[in-house]
Amino acid sequence: MRRAVITAPKTIELQETNIPEIRPDEVLVKVKAVGLCTFEQRYYKGVQRAYPFIGGHEICGVVEKVGTNVAQKLDVGDQVVVASLTRCGECYYCRRGLDHLCSNADQKTKSGEMWGPGGLSEFMVAKGYEVYKVSNELNPAEATVAEPLACVIRSVEKGNIHLGDTVVVIGAGIMGLLHVKLAKLKGAKVIVSEPDGARRQNALETGADVVVDPINENLKEVVKSLTEGRGAHVVFFTAGGTPAIEQGISLLIKGGTIVLYGSIHPVQPISINPNDVHYDEIIVTGVVRHTKESFRKSALLLSQGLVQVQDLISECIPFEDINHAFERAISKDTYRVAVMF
C-alpha cells in the first residue's frame, strides 16, 4: 500500500509499505476519503514540527477485515467513519467517564519515529471502538465531516440551546458553519459574526438569520437590538482571537453561556470582569474532541441526511496529487478539501 508522509515543511513523500496486520480487537479499513483539517495543515506548513508525520483523522473507508474480538456487527464492505482517538479505559479520566480527555490520547513521538493518526494511507488499522458504520449511500467525501461534526455536536450540547434562543456564532469557517447548521436544528435564531464578505454570504446560505461584519459594524449593538436589549443566550467562539472572545462574553444575556470551541495560537490571556460571572451568572466553558456518543450521533445525522454538508466540501483531489491537496487546503478560499483514494 501507499501512504503520504510529511517529512519536513511542505515536503510529502508517497511511500510504499506492507498492508498492516490486525489484532483481534482491531479493524482493517480500506480508506476512501480523508479531510485535511487544520491539524494536518499545521505540520505541512511547519507551524508545528514533529517529523515524519502521517496525518489524516477525518476518515471514511470500507471494512476490509474484522478482528475476532470486535464486538459490534461489521461486515466486509460496510462503509465506515473512523474516530481516530485513543481511549485507554484505564487512566483517571477514562474511569471518570471523560475518555475524550484520555491521558494517553495525545500521541507522543521520539525524534525520527513515524507517528500520527495514519488516515492518509490506502489502508489503516483502527480499534473496534473507533469504527462507526454509516450509510453506504453517503458520499465518502461528505462522510469525512463526521469527525468535526461530532466535535461540534458536543459544543452545541454544552451551549444548552432552547427553542427560540438567540445564538451568536463567531467565525464562519467550516466549524462556524457546522455550528450554524446544528443551532438551526435546535430551533435558534442565529447571528454570525465574520469579517470576510464571501463567508458571510455562505453563512446566510447555510441558514444564518443575520450576518455581521465585526470590523465595520457594532456587533454588540446589533445583538442587543435584536434581543430587546438583553443579549444572546449562547455564543460559540470558533475563530478570531482573544478580542473576539472578550467581545463574545459582552454579548451574553444574564444566565447565558459562551462556549470556547476554537483554540488560540499563539496563546494570549483574556480579560474578564469576575463580577459579570458573579452577578449575571454567565457560564464560560470550553470543548475539545468528540465522545463516543457524539460520534454516534454524527454518523447518524449524516447517514439520515438530517445534516447536509456537501456545501462544506470545497474540492475533492486524488491521493496522487497530495501536495496540491494540501496547498488548496491551506488556501483561505476553501472550507474542507477531501483527499480521494
CB atoms inside a 10 Å sphere around CB 74: 17
Residues of CATH 3.90.180.10 domain(s) within the chain?
A: 2-145+309-340
| Mean pLDDT of all residues in 198-205 | 97
Is residue 101's pLDDT more than 90? Answer: yes
**CATH number of this structure's domain 151-286:** 3.40.50.720
| Mean pLDDT of all residues in 307-321 | 98
* Whole-number average pLDDT of the chain: 96
Per-residue model confidence (pLDDT) at position 147? 98
d(CA 255, CA 240): 24
d(CA 22, CA 277): 51
pLDDT digits (tens, 9 = 90+) for 122-181: 999 999 999 999 999 999 999 999 999 999 999 999 999 999 999 999 999 999 999 999
Name the phi and psi angles at 159, rounded to 5.
-70, -20
Provide the 3-class DSSP secondary structure of residue 146.
Answer: helix
Per-residue model confidence (pLDDT) at position 107? 62
Dihedral over Cα of 111, 113, 114, 115: its sign: negative
Residues of CATH 3.40.50.720 domain(s) within the chain?
A: 151-286
pLDDT digits (tens, 9 = 90+) for 225-256: 999 999 999 999 999 999 999 999 999 999 99
Is residue 297's pLDDT more than 80? Answer: yes
| Mean pLDDT of all residues in 213-232 | 98
Per-residue model confidence (pLDDT) at position 109? 60
Per-residue model confidence (pLDDT) at position 112? 74
Per-residue model confidence (pLDDT) at position 16? 97
Task: Specify whether the backbone of 110 is left (phi greater than 0), alpha (psi in -120 to 50) or beta.
Answer: beta
Q: Which CATH class is domain 2-145+309-340?
A: alpha beta
| Mean pLDDT of all residues in 280-307 | 97
For β-strands 58-66 and 26-35, DSSP reports them as: antiparallel
pLDDT digits (tens, 9 = 90+) for 259-273: 999 999 888 999 999
d(CA 163, CA 185): 9
